[in-house]
Amino acid sequence: MKTFRSIMSWVIPVALGLAVALILNVFVVQRVKVDGPSMQPNLQNNEKVWTFKQAKIHRGSVIVFDANGVDPQVTSKTNYVKRVIAVGGDTVESKNGNLYVNGKKVSHSYISSYQRTTGTGNWTLQSISIKNGWLKYNGATKVPKGYYFVLGDHRSVSNDSRYWGFVPKSKILGVVKVAPWSGTKTTRYNINQFWKHYFKN
């Protein structure tokens, strides 16, 4: 009997700990690895970040989503990390190296001029949807309700909404946050807090 009690004295706490960890991973927070250079300079290839599943998504938030069914080139569950540029009902335009959402200029303080302008060109949602042959919402002039338009921070190397269209909310795993002990003060701000100052004053 003592042996049984002794065993249970550590089995129960371990089981409870595993159960709590599983619940947190499924419903609250998850660690995700960044794959590729598309979020440089703020997130690096192979960097691990926290994804909060219940966090509210804003323009400027960095999100993780399953690209299977979004990017036509992806045929199995694959996590993409991108920045939300526009939400349902928004218009988006790129003009002379600047982004405009609903006619308002977006701040680009989180990336360099090179990363912002190289290989981007001038476009509207309608022009890039037709040019790149989006399978859904070809010819769209606004982001549909329940969808998001996303870009990588390093625009010249990022495979993002410009090429395959909008991300449905159902595919989003959560909002990325950089831990206080990770990265630099600047990169933490650019990932965690930039959305609060999204439009250029």
- CA-CA distance, 18 to 6, in Å (whole number)? 19
3-state secondary structure (DSSP) of residue 177: strand
Q: For residue 137, is it left (φ>0), alpha (ψ between -120 and 50) or beta?
A: left
CA angle 29, 30, 32 (to 5 degrees): 145
Q: Which is it for the CA torsion 125, 129, 134, 140, positive or negative?
A: positive
Q: For residue 18, is it left (φ>0), alpha (ψ between -120 and 50) or beta?
A: alpha
Q: Catalytic positions, please?
A: 38, 82
- CA-CA distance, 11 to 5, in Å (whole number)? 10
